[in-house]
Structure 1
Amino acid sequence: MASKREFDLVLYGATGFVGKLTALYLAKAAPPKARIALAGRSLPKLKAVRDEIGGVAANWSVVVADASDQNDLDALAKRTKVVVTTVGPYLRYGLPLVQACAQAGTHYADLTGEPPFIREAIDHYDTVAAGSGAKIVNSCGFDSVPSDLSAYLIYEKSLEDNTGELEDTTLVAKIKGGMSGGTIDSGRAMMEAAAENPAAQRTIADPYSLSPDRSLEPKGRQSDIALRRASSIDPSLDGWVTTFVMAAHNGKIVRRSNALLGWAYGKNFRYNEVMSTGSSIAAPVIAAGVTGGLVAGMATGALLSRVSLGRKVLDKVLPKPGTGPSEETRDNGFFTMKTFSRTSSGAKYLATFSAQGDPGYKATAVLLGESGLCLAFDDKQLPELSGILTPATAMGEPLADRLRAAGMTITVERLT
């Protein structure tokens, strides 16, 4: 990568809902002399965001770049060391920016929860990015940093303890937060892609579809649908667990990390995610309702996405892109992710990853912002890998250290 560029970091999509939150975070967390720019397609809106933030952001540049103009994106990528992008759905708008960054040797971080998009990025630009030295890092928000780093840090601890390879590993999530129109639109983009493209459908369904070599992964499928007692995961847990809405995506990212590291976690590594519904008398009913509702909702959405009339119905009933939860909801949200893992020697580990703030928005702004800052300023501490990467394989411990310093709880302990 060129050692001297105009900017350290460009935030692309700064006028969107999560983009603004990330810009506000960068204004607080970036080094005083960081060269940051806000980018998007509307100059007046970019200036308005900069003025709204005020303070240090008054010195930030603004850059106009249209997601549909490859020349704009190529020029943008060449001007900066890192691009952080919130412009989604990535299936519709993301690949040209990946191309620009891969070719220019520019590091990149996004918020995608769309496996077909990542698969396309791998197929088209992994080799290009590896050659240019670019770290193209997908899923740098609540999806999937807590999941990916938790598994990676357990692996690091097991290596230090010499307790063998990781085997059964389960993340148990407790969350409170809102939902935005952008998240809904991303889900719609995946359903529409699956309806029109069998390859996208297979990518969504296959838990190992993001592996660099699918032939080396286990045959068959692993279900992310869950409904069981929490104590079946670990005796310390009470109540019931159910299907976690992001399990299918997060699992693909964690499994890709294992494969990119040469299956260092272990060839018998089995990973899944569930969500706690508590231990009240109503917990099993709630758990069953969540699982049934998710299955029914996905089936209905997939059916409606196949026809133009169905898409018009979804347009009317779903939240619009650019909308999101209130400030009060964002402040009152939280997440706690507990990852339990057993090794081949019988040792058991627990990783805890938690933070205050709505997971998908307030916390995600921190996760994405620190990912961008890590790529921009922690070069000498980062792993040497380049290409289409995951948070763990691109940044690992340096990112975990940054997130701890930002107030998040990230710990790993050996249980037995």
Structure 2
Amino acid sequence: MADSTRDHDLVLFGATGFVGRLLAAYLAEHAPPGLRIGLAGRSLTRLLEVRAGLPPAAREWPVVAADAGDPASMAALAESTRVLVTTVGPYARYGLPVVEACAAAGTHYADLTGEVLFVREAVDRVDEVARRTGARIVHACGYDSIPSDLSTFLLAERARADGAGGLTDVRLVATMRGGFSGGTIDSMRAQVEALQENPSKRRVVGDPFALSPDRAAEPGTRQPRDGSMPERTADGRWTAAFVMAPFNTRIVRRSNALQDWAYGRGLSYGEVMGVGRGPLGAVTAAGLSAGLVGAVSAMAFPPTRALLDRVLPAPGSGPSEEVRRKGWFRMTVDAETERGRRYRAIAAGQGDPGYAATAVMLGESALALALDGDRLPDRAGSLTPATALGAVLVERLRAAGQTYEVSEL
């Protein structure tokens, strides 16, 4: 519902970036007529260029100059809209002024972050303010971490409905086809640099409950297998470490704790990547797990980081339209419950998971915040997709062509 005291219903901050342009195009095609959408960024000239390339529905959208480095401009932007969605990263560098402005203004917020350190600091800074102003601050509304978060949410809902008790062992196996963007690489680089500047933050990054709203109240220390060593699933597929698991797992655990551990006090949740079967699968799994450790180590060492900077995608770049179109993702999430019953959730979709599919996820998250307020969970503060948007977002993503389903095994 429109708010006559604000100029916009929804503003996209970062519309000139790679993911920002994809999201702007998605909103132009899927937002209902009459929704007042604005495009924001540092350069009015570039914003006008982006708008000119969008579908006709967006040609009259207003453009707004705003800079994360200018607190006054961020405050004005947040106060002008009911919902702000931002693609400006790395979030550890640019995100805190944005989230602080939204919390203070009572403006609902969504982002794409996959950065543990940023979310931890954002929670510490704005949760109390946002709860007071009524702002829903929703992190991780893309491939990080919607499939993980919503799949576990659906598994817990199904187990509860069946009287099967809480979830105990939950394991996600991810398979996908897609590319990398410079923004993703830059976020990884920023976190490595933050750890070098402040080694004490390693404790936060290494804590599986780092994003818990009440660390002392976490029920236990059971740790899932993390994929660091190649293993096989029950159907013979080899698995390797999943680059997004260190962040996704913490978001799922935060969702559990924000709901008073509604998924189960004994929840053990882990994620790995499926890579194939047979001897080739074993070799691939070992290589990928070792390669992930090597890549992080290389970023931490200045000479090798300089070499990687020459060959990895630059910020603002990303996979081609063909790669985005041919991409896909499929997450298989197996769960056991306290009463011994077993369930499986499937989250799947077409399009490069980090870009084409993420534009759908973030776009529908923003539209849910703008249009479905009376149907969303009655929560405010620093939230997750499951706790802020829950079943409403599942419904929207299914309508957009993605799969979210649960069955008993």
Task: Say yes or no: TM over 0.5.
Answer: yes
**2:315 paired residue number:** 321
Map of 1:300 onto structure 2: 298
Indicate which of 315, 331, 355 corresponds to 1:361.
355
User: Which residue does 1:124 correspond to in 2?
Assistant: 125
Question: Partner residue of 1:375?
Answer: 369
Contact 2:3 2:9 in 1 (8 A): no
- Within the alignment, does 1:102 sit opposite 2:96 as a pair? no
Deviations 1:291-315 (A, max 9, x none): 11111221222233xxxx6654443
TM-score between both structures, scaled by the size of structure 1: 0.95
What is the DSSP-based 3-state SS (H/G/I as helix, E as strand, rest coil) of the residue aligned with 1:212?
coil
Determine the structure 1 residue equivalent to 2:55: 54
Distance (Å, rounded) in 2 between the aligned partners of 1:158 and 1:59: 47
1:207 positional shift: 1.0
Amino acid at match of 1:246: M
Q: Normalised by the size of structure 2, how large is the TM-score?
A: 0.96
Question: Which residue number corresponds to residue 229 of structure 2?
Answer: 227
Secondary structure at 2:53 match in 1 = helix
SS of 2:193's equivalent in the other structure is: helix
- Alignment CA distance shift 1:250-1:214 (3 Å): same
For residues 99 and 372 of structure 2, the distance between their equivalents in structure 1, rounded to whole angstroms, comes to: 21
* Cα distance in 1, alignment partners of residues 287 and 342 from structure 2: 31
1:285 matched to which residue of 2? Answer: 283
Pick one of 378, 393, 415 that aligns with 2:387. 393
- CA apart distance, 1:6: 1.4
What does residue 155 of structure 1 align with? 156
Distance 1:172 1:400, change over 3 A: same
Structure-2 change in CA distance of 1:185 and 1:209 (3 Å): same
CA contact (8 A) 2:158 2:406 kept: yes
Aligned to 2:337: 343
Secondary structure of 1:200's match?
helix
What's the secondary structure of 1:152's corresponding residue? helix
1:245 to 227, 243, 246: 243
Q: What is the CA distance between 1:223 and its match in structure 2?
A: 5.7
CA drift of 1:281 comes to 3.3
Q: For the residues of structure 1 that align with 2:349 and 2:339, how far apart are their CA atoms?
A: 32
8 Å CA contact 2:298, 2:304 repeated in 1: no
- Partners of 1:161 and 1:118 in 2: CA distance: 34
Residues 24 and 173 (structure 1), Cα distance of their counterparts in 2 relative to 1, 3 Å cut = same
2:87 aligned with 1:93, yes or no? no
1:273: which partner in 2?
271
Instruction: Give the whole-Å Cα distance in 1 for the aligned partners of 2:342 and 2:223.
Output: 25
Cα shift at 1:222: 5.6
AA in 2 matched with 1:145: I
Q: Which amino acid is the alignment partner of residue 404 of structure 2?
A: I
Tell me the matched-pair count: 407
Q: How far apart, CA to CA, are the structure 2 residues paired with 1:404 and 1:214? A: 34
State the Cα deviation string for residues 71-110 of structure 1 (Å, max 9, x = none): 0000000110100100000000000011100000000000
Deviations 1:326-363 (A, max 9, x none): 00100011000010000000011111010010000000
* SS of equivalent residue, structure 1 residue 255: helix
Distance 1:189 1:12 in 2: 20
> Residue 65 of structure 1 corresponds to which residue in structure 2?
66
| Worse overlay, 295-304 or 321-330 | 295-304
User: How many percent of aligned residue pairs carry the same amino acid?
Assistant: 54
Looking at structure 1, the residues matched to 352 and 322 of structure 2 have their Cα atoms a distance apart, in angstroms, of 10
- What residue is the counterpart of 1:15 in the other structure? 16
Aligned residues of 1:207 and 1:222 also touching (Cα < 8 A)? no
In 1, Cα distance between the equivalents of 2:124 and 2:225?
A: 25
CA distance in structure 1 between the partners assigned to 2:225 and 2:210 by the alignment: 14
Name which of 256, 260, 263 aligns with 1:262: 260
Give the unaligned 5+ runs of structure 2.
Answer: none
The one-letter code of the counterpart of 2:84 is V
Distance 1:12 1:105 in 2: 17
- Between 1:53-62 and 1:15-24, the stretch displaced more is 53-62
Structure 1 stretch displaced more, 251-260 or 289-298: 289-298
- Aligned-partner Cα distance in 1 for 2:108–2:379: 12
Task: Measure how far apart 1:273 and its partner are.
Answer: 0.4
Which has the larger displacement, 198-207 or 62-71? 198-207
Report which stretch shifted further, 238-247 or 8-17. Answer: 238-247
The alpha-carbon deviation at position 33 of structure 1 amounts to 1.1
Contact kept in structure 2, 1:229 and 1:238, CA below 8 Å: no
Stretch moving more, 218-227 or 277-286: 218-227
Structure 1 contact 240–283 (Cα < 8 Å) conserved: yes
Kept after mapping to 1: 8 A contact 2:2/2:9: no
Q: CA deviation at 1:116?
A: 0.3
Work out the CA distance in 2 between the residues paired with 1:195 and 1:221. Answer: 26
Q: Decide whether the 8 Å contact of 2:177 with 2:327 is kept in 1.
A: yes
Q: Which amino acid aligns with 1:49?
A: V
Give SS of 2:301's match: helix
Asked if the contact 1:226/1:241 (under 8 Å) is kept, the reply is no
Give 1:224 shift.
Answer: 2.5
Aligned equivalent of 1:384: 378
Q: Report the alpha carbon displacement of residue 228 of structure 1 after superposing the two structures with TM.
A: 4.0
Q: 2:400 aligns with which of 406, 409, 416?
A: 406
